Amino acid sequence: MSRRTLTMMVGLVLLLVVCVIGVTVPVPLVAMGPGPSIDTLGQVDGKSVVSLNGRQSYPTTGHLNMTTVTVTDGLTAVNAVQFWLSSQHQVIPRALIYPPGLTEAQVTQSNNEQFSSSENLAQAAALKFLKEPVKVTVSELTTDAPAGTVLKTGDRLITVNGQTVTSAGQVREILAKTRPGDQVPITYQRGAAPPANGTVTVGLRPGSPPERPQGFFGIVPQAEPLAPYQINVALDDVGGPSAGLMFTLAIIDKMTPDDLTGGKFVAGTGTIDESGAVGEINGIPFKMIGAKEAGATVFLVPANNCAEAKSAVPDGMQLIKVATLTDAVNGLEALKAGKPVPGC
C-alpha cells in the first residue's frame, strides 16, 4: 500500500471519527428560542387560565398573552452550529440555565416554584391595585417546615411576632429579621374556628449567608380576597416568574367592567411583586418573536428591558414601556383611546 493511499485512509478515518463525535457527543451548550404564547384571558385544555369563583366575572375581548422561551438541551456540535446559524435562536453556555451543582430536576422544581409564586404575587398585586381587602393565608408548606408543627395549608395568618398581618410581603419582612432558633408567636385561624395562638421555632432558611443566617418558617404566604370569593389561575407545565404581569392584568380585566384591551391582541412579559413593580426578564427577543407569530401587535415591555427590546422588535409590533402595573393599565387605556403611549 502506497504512502499516499495510507494517508488518505487515515484521513478518512479521522474525518469519520470527527463526524461521529459531532453528531453524537453532547456539548456544554443549550439553545434558546421562541416558546408558546398563551392567552391569559382564554382557555387551555378546556379550562380558563384565570377564573373567578363566587364573584361576577366581566366579559373580555382581545388577548393578553403571556410569552415564553424554549430551551433545547443535549446539543451536539452539529446541533449547536445549526441553532447558531438560526436567526430565531441563541446558543449559550449550559451553565447559565443549569447551574453547576444543581440537577435538572432541581432546576425544574425551582422554575415551577417561581411560577407558582408569580401566580400568588399576581393575585396580590391585582387586589392591591383594585383596593380590595385581603387576608393572608398559608398557600404551601415545605417539607419539614418549622411552622408545620402549628400551621396547616389554608390557615389564615392574623399576627406574626406581634404584628397584624396585612400582606404576604409583610410576613416575609418580619421573618427576614429573625434568626434560627428564635421563638416567634403567631395568631392564626383555621376555617371557621376561633383564632388560636401558637409559637414557631424558626429554622435556617436555605441559602442564607453564614454571616447573617435568616429565620425560616417553611411557608408560602398568599394574599387572598377577604370577601368570600376566589381567584384561580390554572396553568401547568410553565416555569419561571415572568408571566406575573400578564396574569395580573387578566385578573384585573375579569374583575372590572372596563375592557382593558379594547379588542386588541396584546402580549407581554415581566415579573410582578405585591406593590405592582414590574421586573425585567431574560429572552425578550424570543418572546417577541413568539408573540408576533401568535398574532400580537402590541407588546408590554419591562422598563429595564426596553433597550434590548427596541433593538430586536419585529416589524409591525408596537412596544409599551412599563415599570409598574399602573403603567401597564394606563398604557392599555391610552392605546384603546387612540392616545400616545410610552414606547421604548
pLDDT for res 339: 93
Segments making up each domain of the chain, as ranges: 34-73+111-128+230-336, 133-225
Q: Is the pLDDT of residue 14 over 50?
A: no
Give the model confidence (pLDDT) of 72-110 as tens digits. Answer: 888 787 776 776 777 788 877 888 777 777 677 776 676
Q: Which fold has domain 133-225?
A: Pdz3 Domain (2.30.42)
**Mean pLDDT within 190-201:** 94
Which is higher by pLDDT, 303 or 111?
303
pLDDT-derived band at 144 (thresholds 50, 70, 90) equals confident
**CA 249/CA 122 separation, integer angstroms:** 8
Give mean pLDDT, residues 7-18.
46
pTM attached to this predicted model = 0.82
Closest CA to 38 of 297, 257, 235: 235
Q: Interior CA angle at 86 toward 81 and 91, to 5°? A: 55
Mean pLDDT of 8-30: 52
Q: What is the per-residue pLDDT for 16?
A: 46
123-135 pLDDT, tens per residue? 999 999 999 999 9
Assign 161 to helix, strand or coil. Answer: coil
- pLDDT for residue 290: 94
4-33 average pLDDT score: 55
| pLDDT value for 19 | 45
pLDDT (mean) for 211-219: 83
Mean pLDDT for the chain overall: 86
Distances (CA, A) of 107 to 62, 66, 99, 101, 112: 34, 21, 8, 10, 9
pLDDT level of residue 10 (50, 70, 90 thresholds): very low
Question: CATH topology of 34-73+111-128+230-336 equal to that of 133-225?
Answer: no
Higher pLDDT, 99 or 339: 339
CB-based burial, 65-97: b 16+ in 10 Å, e otherwise: bbbbbebeeebbbebbeebeeeeebbbeebeeb
- Residues whose CB is less than 8 angstroms from the CB of residue 217 and which lie 6 or more positions away in sequence, other chains included: 145, 146, 147, 171, 175, 184, 200, 202, 203
User: Over 90: is that where the pLDDT of 276 sits?
Assistant: yes
- Of the given ranges (204-213, 286-295, 296-305), which has the lowest mean pLDDT? 204-213
The answer, yes or no, to whether residue 5 has pLDDT greater than 60, is: no
Instruction: Note the pLDDT of residue 59.
Output: 94
For the stretch 308-319, pLDDT in tens is: 999 999 999 999
Topology of the domain covering 34-73+111-128+230-336: Ribosomal Protein S5; domain 2 (3.30.230)
Of 167 and 116, the structure prediction assigns the larger pLDDT to 167
